[in-house]
Structure 1
Amino acid sequence: MSKDLTTSSIHRQNILNNPFALEKIQEHFDFKGTLFENEQVYTKAKVAELLGVDTRTIERYVKNHTDEFGSNGYRVLKGKSLKIFKLQYVSDTGVGEKAATLGVFNFRAILNLAMVLTESERAREIRSRVLDIVLDVIAKKTGGHTRFINQRAQDYLPASYQEFSYRKLFTDALRDYVDMGGTKYRHFTNLIYQAIFKEDAAEYRRILNITDKSRTRDTMYSEVLELIASFESGIADQLKERSAALERKLTQAETEELFKASESNPFIKPYIEGARTRMASRDLCFRDALHDKLEGYIQSVPAVDFEKFLGETSKNLSERLEQEEVLSVFKRLKDR
């Protein structure tokens, strides 16, 4: 997937949805606008001046990116809002008194425009600086360890502990009810991974560049871990029931049939789709890791995810383990 901001709407939106990066970017550029309705706004003429192009170029880009700019802060003033703007600022902004509408940008919308504007050297410089700031913000927030950014979420530890519990049920069921050698544990674990995110463990580790002895699941998001736990729990029960019905252990082929049936279950399909979208989108945004087989699931990361992994409620694992409420959650899970 192209990382060129002029062509990739997903990469553009990932920056525009990141409130922590936006704050630093706005501080850096400090564009002087007009205070209106509690935010700085900029007329097309002012934006043309800031980006070094003429207003006709601005109008053409607005026409070609109406929906995108509109969702990121560009708006057209008319009626009462325009009347108030004219009364307060018409002499300062050069807006014609007879104008029936007026398009204005906020900072976010200017940044959006600078990301797609190819005719401007100033816009190119802005794009380059923005990318540096975004990388710096994420690195500082995570202490440079984006591989484990998943662990900063408040719901990671409970999900990890729950999955660990169900993992034991799953491996015990493979031991007791499947007639295969020791390779069955890796084989059927990979079938779960392939069912959920279309990759086996080796592929996943290669994409995330995990070359040390770190546990694969230590890098997975809570939603993925919860879905893995659901698979493990469901498969464990089915193996036990099927083995009892046949009064023998299951063959590899019979066990694989159970996995296929679970993967195609319509009740679990929405959860698989959601896990794929979250993993593919977050890994591209936060870890610069592209899951080729999930490229069709990539979306821009919502603002709530930046808060989840970089905001005030996010913490690294060692900080999280010191919290009393986390320890109480573990106790409840242990005693269930």
Structure 2
Amino acid sequence: MKDLTVSAIDRQNILNNLSAVADIQEYLGIRGMFFQGEFRFTKNQVVEFYEVDSSTIERYLSNNEDELKHNGYEIFKGKKLRELKAEFGWLLEDGAKAPQLGIFNFRAFLNLGMLLAESEKAKALRSAILNIVIDGLNKKLGGSTKFINQRDEEFLVSIAREPVYRKEFTSALNLYLDMGAYKYAVYTDAIYKSIFHENASEYKKILQLEEKVNPRDTMYAEVLKLIASFEIGIADAMKEKSEEMGRKLTPGELNILIQKFSERRFWIPQLEDARSKMASRDYGFRNIIHDRLKPYIKCLTPDDYQRFLGDKSKSLQDRIDENIEVFKRLKDR
């Protein structure tokens, strides 16, 4: 089980999952002071809930100030503090006359509970949080995150175009590479390794895919687009090189061509983006770590949760059913 007290990425992944945060708040049943669209909590209320002393809270605020402020902890003063006192002064106790006051919203309140190692109540909350997050995923996805990538509305477009670009690449291998049929698997792997440092079998093992599953069915739209760009780009480069030499390429020559192609500077931003999205989403959604992509793991954004779990996310079959007439027209062209 993940240790939320030590992993900033795991904490932020939960806090950016606004649906899970709402479920956790409902589970806890605490409301606080509803002020300017959010429930708010004073330091005294936090002390009371987590059953720790005030100095412990102050220490965590000092040591984790940037993270807690990022998630909604604020120092109220001036007009904002006056408005809070006017509405909830009777709840502020010692802070009623203070010139400034530290206030937690629910996300910051939850953030602190993920950090507090001294509190037994926080420890129990952390366990409940992880269960609620898992239950939320299971409820939305039916227990499996293997094909969560397909819930993105961009996936259908990417996977529909994929065979066209794939055919250009395999045709180029057939026309311009002097090697047997094994070349198709070898150079598909070469592209995968250039982009995300894993060949097909390694990728399938990490995701625990059955042999019959096509790895691309589990890849995110951004990764599929980059694979397509590599495939058509390398196909063009192979044709140009073969025509220049007046013969087919050897495997060694193609290896050099692919290496030089993938090292061109204009690929760097796209490669960084694809690796980061694969590493971060697989860690956050699938609880999977790609060892060679560890440096690229970042926290998921609220937009990631909206894309794959929000109102606009749908199963691939639902999207196909919605667009079936469009596919029929394209087929008849």
- 218-227 or 29-38, which deviates more: 29-38
Say yes or no: does 1:139 pair with 2:138.
yes
Q: Distance in 2 between matches of 1:209 and 1:100?
A: 57
User: In the alignment, is the contact (CA less than 8 A) between 1:161 and 1:330 conserved in 2?
Assistant: no
Q: 1:328 aligns with which of 310, 326, 329?
A: 326
Equivalent residue for 1:303?
A: 302
Equivalent residue for 2:26?
A: 27
Shift of 1:181: 1.1
Q: Which amino acid aligns with 2:143?
A: G
Say yes or no: does 1:228 pair with 2:227.
yes
Change in Cα spacing, 1:133 to 1:147, as seen in structure 2 (3 Å) is same
Q: Which amino acid aligns with 2:152?
A: A
| SS of residue matched to 1:69 | helix
Equivalent residue for 1:102?
A: 101
Matches within 5 A, 1:99-248: 99-248=98-247
Q: Distance in 1 between matches of 2:254 and 2:106?
A: 57
Q: Distance in 2 between matches of 1:17 and 1:142?
A: 18
Change in Cα spacing, 1:333 to 1:247, as seen in structure 2 (3 Å) is farther
What is the root-mean-square deviation in Å for CA atoms of aligned residues? 1.6
Shift of 1:329: 6.8
User: In the alignment, is the contact (CA less than 8 A) between 1:162 and 1:333 conserved in 2?
Assistant: no
Q: Distance in 1 between matches of 2:275 and 2:214?
A: 20
Shift of 1:301: 0.5
| SS of residue matched to 2:75 | strand
Q: Distance in 2 between matches of 1:29 and 1:164?
A: 49
Shift of 1:145: 2.4
Q: Which amino acid aligns with 1:210?
A: L
User: In the alignment, is the contact (CA less than 8 A) between 1:86 and 1:95 conserved in 2?
Assistant: no
1:64-121 deviations in Å (ceiling 9; x for gaps): 1111000101101001111122222222221334311100101111110000100000
Equivalent residue for 1:273?
A: 272
| SS of residue matched to 1:268 | helix
Identity among equivalent positions (%) equals 47
Q: Distance in 1 between matches of 2:58 and 2:44?
A: 10
User: In the alignment, is the contact (CA less than 8 A) between 1:158 and 1:330 conserved in 2?
Assistant: no
| SS of residue matched to 1:4 | coil
Q: Which runs of 5+ in 1 are unaligned?
A: none
1:157-204 deviations in Å (ceiling 9; x for gaps): 110121221001100100110001111111111110011101111111
Q: Which amino acid aligns with 1:201?
A: A
TM-score, L = length of structure 1: 0.96
Shift of 1:333: 9.7
Q: Distance in 2 between matches of 1:163 and 1:268?
A: 19
Matches within 5 A, 1:248-287: 248-287=247-286
Equivalent residue for 2:50?
A: 51
- 28-37 or 245-254, which deviates more: 28-37
Q: Distance in 1 between matches of 2:261 and 2:328?
A: 29
Change in Cα spacing, 1:254 to 1:334, as seen in structure 2 (3 Å) is farther
| SS of residue matched to 1:77 | strand
Say yes or no: does 1:41 pair with 2:17.
no
Q: Distance in 1 between matches of 2:49 and 2:189?
A: 53
Q: Which amino acid aligns with 1:259?
A: I
Shift of 1:330: 8.2
Q: Distance in 2 between matches of 1:327 and 1:16?
A: 40
Q: Which amino acid aligns with 1:193?
A: Y
Q: Distance in 2 between matches of 1:244 and 1:278?
A: 37
Shift of 1:312: 1.1
User: In the alignment, is the contact (CA less than 8 A) between 1:321 and 1:327 conserved in 2?
Assistant: no
| SS of residue matched to 2:153 | coil
Q: Distance in 2 between matches of 1:305 and 1:242?
A: 41
1:241-268 deviations in Å (ceiling 9; x for gaps): 1111111000001111111111101111
| SS of residue matched to 2:167 | helix
Shift of 1:31: 1.2
1:280-328 deviations in Å (ceiling 9; x for gaps): 000001111100100000000000010000111111111111013x653
Q: Distance in 1 between matches of 2:184 and 2:218?
A: 20
Change in Cα spacing, 1:113 to 1:45, as seen in structure 2 (3 Å) is same
Change in Cα spacing, 1:244 to 1:331, as seen in structure 2 (3 Å) is farther
Number of residue pairs aligned between Structure 1 and Structure 2:
333
